[in-house]
Amino acid sequence: MILSRLRALVQAPGRWRRRGLAFLLGAIGALALAPFNLFPVLFVSFTGLFWLLDDARRAREGFGTGWWFGWGHFICGLFWIASAFLVEPDKFAWMIPFPVLGLPALLALFTGAACALAVAVSRPGPMRLAALAAAWTLAEFARGHVLTGFPWNLAGHAMAFSDATMQPAAWIGVTGLSLVVIAATAAPGLFAGYGRPGRRAGGLALVLLAVLSLAGWMRLSPVGAAPGDGPVVRVVQPNIAQRDKWDRDRLVENFELQLAMSRDPEADVVIWSETAVVWSIEDTQPVRDALAAVAAGLSGGRGGVLVTGVPRFVRDDDPPTWRNSARAIGPDGSFLATYDKVHLVPFGEYLPLRPLLQQIGLERLAQGRGDFQRGPDVQVFDVPGLPPAGVMICYEAIFPGRAVPGRRPAWLINLTNDGWFGELTGPYQHFVSARFRSVEQGLPLVRAAGTGVSAIVDPFGRIVASQALGTRGAITAVLPKPLQPTIYNTVGDIAAMMIAIFVLLAAAIRRLFW
């Protein structure tokens, strides 16, 4: 049988051979993520990983296999990080190997821990596969929280290859989807030499994936285009390259370009991207007046709202601080609402462990740049005349459950500057994360990205209108209506976490007593 021969080939001895195979399988799995969306490759990737783990005798072997798999997976999934160091290549290009190879090496600790746990608590066979899916899910949850978290490219994100397969996130979230994806895509491994119990368990996992996909299709099938009775929204994507965004000789030109792209009397609200305005508005009256003039021309001349990302200087702090903010500006130039980014990017917006760096003698690194200050807890963005919104600035969109504060908003706004990511895979992966927030919460999403992908998304995660990556333009559409609160909105990740823990406990009990 072909599968049995493949299993024997995968499990052939040789330490470095197995490590290289694990690395290759992990790298192949990255093709299931955006923009490739080749979901079937996961059947190769995770079936191979399961076979490698299934004959592991000790947790240490499982950790090594999982680490090599994760290293390959994250290198191929996150290579776009190099783009940020090529904005000023003369200064930073030499550093590229550290994030491109080093960050994946650290993230692979989570996949290594997941595989070690699966081997430690389970016997070979169907229970080891179940333990792998459960431990992987817990590891992804931990990756989203440890050291501020980095839940990028979760296994569940592979379900974004169609609108229908994203829909189960409304019930179990991306975390629950990861549990199902790992179990189902590793399931073919149970059809090779595990007898009838293995075939039954593998078939059950595949059926579960099929049932969830069918349920997602049924959720969409009676629904046409999402109705829109909200404000008319215009999203501006100026496509200003990152190297030009802060060029002093082009600041005024860039600003005037965005002003010209924003004038639309049919729109009620115009949305600009993260730090689209590079000056502190409070200290630059001509800039504030220009923004107010755009707002005054909206809604057929009756006046509307302009929402923009801007660095905000807060003099009331002691000492004064800078914040990465979203601000809503009215026709008279008043600030109608303000949101300060809460979840900052380590090393990008602030320097972690600054006191420690100073103590060990790295004063120049610790003092060479300023930090943004995080804002207060996530709050609803209340703008008079608009439905209440939940704002996510850039990085915040990748965190499940953070999009909605205590009071549920009626829509989501994601301001981001993906210019740092270049035109590689990163912007597409970031957009997928934002779309999942929409599905999980049942809320429409308006996303303004300086270089793309900008979009208006309905509460099912479907794209109503979009501006392609690396292009200049503006999109205008009526804001779709929100849905009733989803199951995920109510229970969050608790259900998926409880299932994963129960599976691991069951595997451990079976190993000890049967």
Catalytic hit among 115, 341, 349, 396: 341
375 contact partners, CB below 8 Å, separation of at least 6: 323, 325, 339, 340, 341, 342
Is residue 168 within 8 Å of 184, Cβ to Cβ?
no
Is residue 333 within 8 Å of 289, Cβ to Cβ?
yes
- In angstroms, the CA 164 to CA 182 distance is 19
Catalytic hit among 61, 140, 394, 396: 394
Backbone dihedral angles phi then psi of residue 290, each to the nearest 5 degrees: -65, -40
| Cα separation values, 411 from 258, 352, 432, 493, 514, Å | 24, 32, 17, 21, 51
| Paired residues of 71 in beta bridges | none
Burial class (CB in 10 A: 0-12, 13-18, 19+), 210: exposed
| Cα separation values, 296 from 19, 303, 305, 333, 479, Å | 62, 4, 8, 9, 20
Tell me the Cα Rg of the chain. 24
What is the token pair recorded at 467?
């501006």
Q: Cα(first)–Cα(last) distance of the chain, in Å?
A: 30
Catalytic hit among 61, 274, 349, 440: 274
Bond into 35 cis (ω within 30): yes
Is residue 341 annotated as part of the catalytic site, yes or no? yes
Is residue 70 within 8 Å of 62, Cβ to Cβ?
no
Residue 145's nearest CA partner among 178, 182, 98, 110 is 110
Burial class (CB in 10 A: 0-12, 13-18, 19+), 109: middle
| Cα separation values, 409 from 23, 66, 141, 438, 443, Å | 43, 40, 25, 12, 8
Is residue 104 within 8 Å of 74, Cβ to Cβ?
yes
Kindly report the length of the chain: 514
Is residue 394 annotated as part of the catalytic site, yes or no? yes
Is residue 349 annotated as part of the catalytic site, yes or no? no
| Paired residues of 24 in beta bridges | none
Phi-psi region at 183: left, alpha or beta (left = phi > 0; alpha = psi -120 to 50): alpha
Among all residues, which ones are annotated catalytic? 274, 341, 394
